[in-house]
């Protein structure tokens, strides 16, 4: 009996030993993910809403015990952001959401750690970190006001750049508010003088204060600043009047001088009180500067049939002394108009036809997005072509042998708008509300943006300064910039220079050359004030008619 018992026990042990399987080792597992329902093949997602949903799908069910610590969301300052997690599909899917809405135009990283285990204690083969960039916060950043009140607000706030931030010695406009505060800009100061006229006319400042400031500017220009044949440099030291080199140019800039004279002549026409000694002094000083500019000298002293942008007196080679022919179509029509209008040093119509119009080669005649473009490069170029010269020159019903200038500028603005709506480069944010390609700061630089040079950067001045040409499209953009993007775009001097919604970059700058057209073109849209003043100059009427321009405003 004992022997039989032992045999049974031994048989059982042997059976157990033979029947027992080796334990299965933990298997690794993998994940895939969708951000708001899609995967772009990268770990970078931009333009997201403020409450994105990230869905992780795993090749094996995961343990529920540690999912709370396995998913971490941090902002760009490495501060943790709370998230909620939800297991689904038999624990093989985890839904991750921020516990509260994120900030607009902010960067976040969402990480899945290797500490996440499967139900069989397997480890992840591909722990990842996803980079998330939020986009537009569609809530209003400021209370809604009437469009008229908004236009006034934009003009008044932007004016502070030329009044509060003007150079304290010269009164001239500083080039930018994130650079050397001693550097003032000749052309931007011309725009600033026109802004002062608008401010006085709208009651932002008194007429007396406006005259005093402009007389300060005029006295500085006459007594402190170096001139070459009557023309000023591009940049000037605002305390001493010394020339500040603009690239390789250490001499005269006739185009920048043109923008300055456009503003000064407009001021001469506005401050017309014959019995006020200060206004009389203003007009006399403007005429002193205006009459001294030797426009014909900038055709290489009459030896060429084109005006030249820069005169560099310290250079020796003739090709270096004169740099950049002023040929159309671009922002410099005002230069030829003033040169033809000069009482003492005028150019001939032949210089305009050959130099500026290039004997008709500036004519375009093609259509873009179904819009005919009379002049210039493909798609019109940067929008400042339709702004800088036309702060004073009224394009309404203005024609010459080459174009109707109202048609030109309206077409240019509409093509720029249509391009941004079409958005062939698929930049985030471009739309019927967010458009305007022109010269501006860009990340780590500056460029003249246009449909043929589009780097994803929008400048508010592009759309807003086009208000006379595209009133509906520009007003829609202005509202969008202020109400929807105002927490990032609106500052002490109005709208910042530019922004890139793809990366959440917002320029740390305001530029005189971009802020001035905002004030001035809004005013021309509202009242035509600056157009009426500049076109009332008797010299301008004569000069433009001599060039072959026709317009009721020249009568």
**pLDDT on residue 23:** 56
Is the CB of residue 503 less than 8 Å from the CB of residue 511?
Answer: no
Q: What is the mean pLDDT of residues 232-252?
A: 94
Compute, in degrees rounded to 10, the torsion defined by CA atoms 269, 274, 278, 281: 70
Cα 482 to Cα 475, 487, 513: the distances in Å are 11, 8, 20
- Per-residue pLDDT at 320: 66
Spatial contact of 184 and 192, defined as CB atoms under 8 Å apart: no
CA distance 485 to 105: 10
What are 344-382's pLDDT values in tens digits?
Answer: 999 999 999 999 999 999 999 999 999 999 999 999 999
Angle at 457 between CA 390 and CA 421, to 5 degrees: 80
pLDDT in tens, 465-483: 999 999 999 999 999 999 9
Mean pLDDT of the chain, nearest integer: 94
Place of tokens 């480069």: 425
Residue 16's pLDDT band, with cuts at 50, 70 and 90, is very low
pLDDT over 80 (residue 319): no
Confidence of residue 161 (pLDDT cuts 50, 70, 90): very high
Q: What CA–CA distance (Å, rounded) separates 341 from 338? A: 5
| Structural contact between residues 500 and 494, judged by C-beta atoms closer than 8 angstroms | no
Nearest to 284 by CA among 297, 274, 294: 274
Q: Give me the mean pLDDT over the 121-126 stretch.
A: 92
**What is the signed CA dihedral for 181, 187, 192, 197, rounded to 10 degrees?**
160
CA distances (Å), origin 50, targets 42, 184, 203, 461, 486: 20, 41, 42, 28, 17
**Confidence grade of residue 18 (pLDDT, cut at 50, 70, 90):** very low
* Residue whose tokens read 């305009």: 352
pLDDT digits (tens, 9 = 90+) for 277-305: 999 999 999 999 999 999 999 999 998 99
Mean pLDDT value of segment 257-261:
98
CA distance 237 to 13: 101
Cβ atoms 378, 366 nearer than 8 A = yes
Residue with tokens 């759309």: 463
Higher pLDDT, 320 or 477: 477
Alpha-carbon gap, residue 409 to 399, rounded angstroms = 12
Q: How confident is the model at residue 60 (pLDDT cuts 50, 70, 90)?
A: very high
Give DSSP secondary structure letters for 427-452: -TT-SSSS----EEEETTEEEE-BTT
Q: Tell me what percent of the residues of the chain surpass a pLDDT of 90.
A: 89
Q: How confident is the model at residue 27 (pLDDT cuts 50, 70, 90)?
A: confident
d(CA 177, CA 194): 19
Residues of the chain with pLDDT > 70: what percent? 94
User: Which range among 13-17, 209-213, 221-225, 389-393 shows the weakest confidence by mean pLDDT?
Assistant: 13-17
Mean pLDDT of 76-80: 94
Helix (H, G, I), strand (E, B) or coil at 159: helix
Task: Please tell me the total number of residues recorded for the chain in this structure.
Answer: 555
pLDDT tens readout for residues 487-513: 999 999 999 999 999 889 999 999 999
Q: pLDDT confidence of 26, banded at 50, 70, 90?
A: confident
Q: List, in order of start, the domains of the chain with CATH numbers.
A: 31-134 (2.60.40.1220), 147-554 (1.50.10.140)
Strand, helix or coil for residue 393: coil
Q: In whole angstroms, what is the distance from residue 62 CA to residue 116 CA?
A: 7
Question: pLDDT digit string (tens) for 88-107?
Answer: 999 999 999 999 999 999 99
Report whether pLDDT(151) > 90. yes
Q: What is the pLDDT of residue 308?
A: 96
């Amino acid at each position: 009996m004992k022997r039989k018992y032992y045999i049974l026990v031994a048989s059982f042990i042997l059976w157990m030993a033979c029947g027992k399987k080796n334990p299965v080792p933990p298997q690794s597992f993998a994940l895939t993910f969708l951000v708001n329902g899609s995967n772009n093949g990268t770990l970078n997602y931009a333009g997201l809403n403020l409450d994105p949903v990230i869905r992780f799908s795993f090749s094996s069910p995961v343990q529920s015990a540690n999912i709370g610590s396995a998913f971490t969301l941090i902002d760009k300052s490495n501060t943790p952001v709370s998230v909620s997690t939800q297991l689904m599909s038999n624990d093989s899917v985890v839904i991750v959401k921020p516990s509260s809405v994120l900030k607009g135009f902010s960067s976040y990283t969402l990480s899945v750690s290797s500490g996440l285990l499967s139900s069989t204690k397997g480890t992840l083969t591909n722990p990842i970190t996803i980079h998330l960039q939020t986009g537009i916060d569609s809530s209003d950043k400021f209370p809604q006001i009437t469009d008229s009140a908004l236009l006034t607000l934009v003009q008044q706030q932007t004016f502070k750049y030329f009044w509060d931030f003007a150079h304290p010695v010269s009164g001239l406009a500083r080039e930018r508010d994130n650079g050397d505060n001693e550097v003032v800009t000749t052309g931007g100061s011309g725009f600033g003088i026109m802004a002062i006229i608008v401010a006085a006319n709208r009651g932002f400042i008194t007429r007396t204060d406006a005259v005093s400031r402009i007389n300060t500017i005029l006295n500085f220009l006459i007594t402190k600043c170096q001139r070459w044949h009557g023309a000023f440099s591009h940049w000037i030291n605002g305390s001493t009047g010394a020339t500040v080199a603009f690239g390789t140019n250490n001499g005269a800039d006739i185009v920048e001088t043109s923008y300055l004279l456009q503003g000064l002549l407009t001021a001469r026409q506005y401050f017309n009180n014959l019995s006020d000694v200060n206004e009389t002094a203003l007009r006399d000083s403007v005429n002193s500067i205006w009459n001294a500019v030797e426009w014909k000298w900038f055709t290489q002293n009459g030896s060429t049939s084109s005006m030249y942008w820069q005169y560099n007196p310290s250079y020796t080679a003739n090709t270096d002394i004169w740099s950049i022919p002023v040929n159309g179509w671009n922002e410099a029509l005002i230069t030829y108009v003033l040169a033809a209008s000069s009482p003492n040093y005028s150019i001939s119509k032949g210089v305009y036809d050959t130099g500026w119009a290039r004997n008709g080669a500036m004519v375009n005649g093609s259509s873009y997005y179904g819009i005919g473009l009379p002049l210039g490069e493909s798609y019109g170029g940067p929008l400042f072509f339709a702004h800088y010269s036309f702060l004073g020159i009224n394009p309404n019903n203005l024609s010459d042998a080459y174009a109707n200038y109202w048609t030109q500028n309206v077409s240019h603005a509409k093509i720029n708008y249509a391009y941004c709506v079409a958005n062939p480069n698929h930049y985030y944010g471009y739309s019927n509300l967010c458009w305007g390609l022109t010269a501006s700061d860009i990340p780590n630089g500056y460029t003249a943006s246009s449909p043929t040079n589009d780097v994803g950067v929008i400048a508010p001045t592009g759309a807003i300064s086009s208000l006379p040409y595209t009133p509906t499209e520009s007003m829609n953009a202005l509202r969008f910039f202020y109400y929807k993007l105002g927490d990032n775009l609106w500052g002490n001097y109005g709208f910042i220079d530019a922004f890139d919604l793809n990366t959440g970059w917002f320029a740390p700058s305001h530029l005189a050359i971009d802020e001035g057209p905002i004030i001035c073109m809004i005013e021309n849209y509202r009242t035509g004030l600056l157009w009426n003043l500049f076109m009332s100059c008797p010299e301008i009427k004569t000069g433009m008619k001599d060039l072959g321009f026709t317009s009721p405003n020249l009568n």
